[in-house]
Structure 1
Amino acid sequence: MNASRRDVLTLMAGNAAASMVPLRTSAAASAPLTLNYLLASALYGDMKLAEVLPEVSPAGCAGLDLWGKPHATHREEVDEMGVDAFEALLKQSGVPLVCSTRYPLGPFGLQPEMPMVKRLGGKLIVCASKGPKDVTGVEAKAGIKEFLELMKPHADAAAGHGITIAIENHAGALLASPDSLRYWAEFNTHPALGVALAPHHLHDHVDDLPKLIRELGAKNLPFVYFQEYGIGSKQPVAKEIELQQLPGYGTLDYRPILKALREVSFEGFVEIFMHPTPRGAPILPTPAEITAAINRSRGHIEGLLQEVNA
């Protein structure tokens, strides 16, 4: 049977509409990625907060990630001066507190930190997981399900304070293997609970990172570290070797990571980071030198980001 002119026009319109769907999807997926950097006070070790806070803006950062011992002394300094004095120092420096990194408290002990973080306008608390270590397969599945259940009251409390808890994937922890991250992506449903993604703790699975980012999605990624695994994080080495943990100083190609972050429409925070040996020491002798190193790394990342966004 011959098609009528109306049938042909209807078919053409339908085909045209169908062809536009992938175009719209592609356009949405290709939205440029913009990175929001935090300054890790740990990079400045035992330098005083009065020296660190003025470096936040010159380092191109949106705010402060406050660290304590053994990585720095700044959280303890806040306890010594009091929250009122710290709040005044933040205002004087024009610096917002965005994150408090509180590994010593453990994931089930974070609630006492929440009122201070909320008062100062913070959005994140970072900690490690707790449970069976370095598990894979069914053990990872069971461990992550149990951990997420145990975290519900703490995540509820965080949500009540306008805060997200970001759990770092860390060697020797429950959240460590690619399997554990995949099960997190499958089972986590709490909007105030996410992952602080640490590529340096996945150095044996670097090729898996883009896929893991896609599986986790932006909703599970409030925070990402930019740090490469390096032997200088564990033992004394020449400074130029120790600094290879920083983007642009080592060999890790961040383009696949950035591409995946763009694809999932990542809107969280990122942090240029490394571990000196010994822990708690500034990574370089002066605040200006540390900030210059951060800016070199940030410039490297932003250069790659231009390629990814092109």
Structure 2
Amino acid sequence: MWCRIRRRTALPRKLKTVPTTTAPNSFPCSTAANCGKKVLDYAFQRGLMHPEDMGPMTHWYSPTPRVFLEHFKPEFMVQSSNNYDHPEQQVWDCDDEKNVEHYMELTRAHIKHYGKGELFHMIGLAEWVFGSPEENLATKIRVMKTFIRHLRREYPDAPLLIASWDFMFRWKAPEVRKLLAELDPADTVILDYTTDSGSYSNNFVNWNLPHHFPWIFGIFQAYEPQNDLFFNFDRAEEMYIPVQDDPMCRGMVIWSENSHSNPLLEYLAKRSVDEPFSLGQFCANHCGDRAAAMEGLWEIRINFSIFFRKST
């Protein structure tokens, strides 16, 4: 999991002329920044890696401070979708080199104060739509390549993780394959964490990742529907089959956004070292003489969810 800290990163040197304000009922940015640094230092000491966020990151979890907008007055990219239409959540025009440089300054600032610059992550223009399907794809690929060029000038050998979130929501499989043809597999890895999305037509298999492009097998498991009595381990196992003999698969991750992910953590621990896992065994280990009842409830919940998904 990477740390979403753009909101609390110290401003780069070139941007420090922007006046600052203190939001009501909030603790100082310095407090959050110090906490973030301690967390990352703790992780680095234990051999963990932190992907440095880069690219057009002013979206749903990293809105632009209003003082920045008032000071620099960046033009925005013109989107045809109406989501994230507040100025603080829009993308600065990435065809303007000044805006691209400001985005890169955010990444440099985090590396200087908190990170290492050994691994990078980019989600691209995720969840937005720009013009027709053809224009949208061309725009997203063009912007992604722009930031990759900047990255390679400064960090020529650092691996780049490209998140698959937008692929699941806004792309079709042929479009993902077109993007892959534009990327360098020597220093790029697709970070896929959508294998439990339930899509049979738009997933890492249809994108032609196995045996063709470096990638990471991942599971999202987020929000209320995927708490305890839901997760479809049979579906996860079905999607795991192409992974087992794939030299291009660089690892296995979860991106869990709920508070009840213990079953999935156990699944990850076992499957990452090729130990078998089954719902029946999980229930037996945790529920004792009520294992059969628990497994029955679990299966009912899964079947209900599958029926609901197909009917909507």
Q: TM-score, normalised to structure 1's length?
A: 0.49
Name the structure, 1 or 2, with higher relative contact order (CA <8 Å, separation 6+). Answer: 1
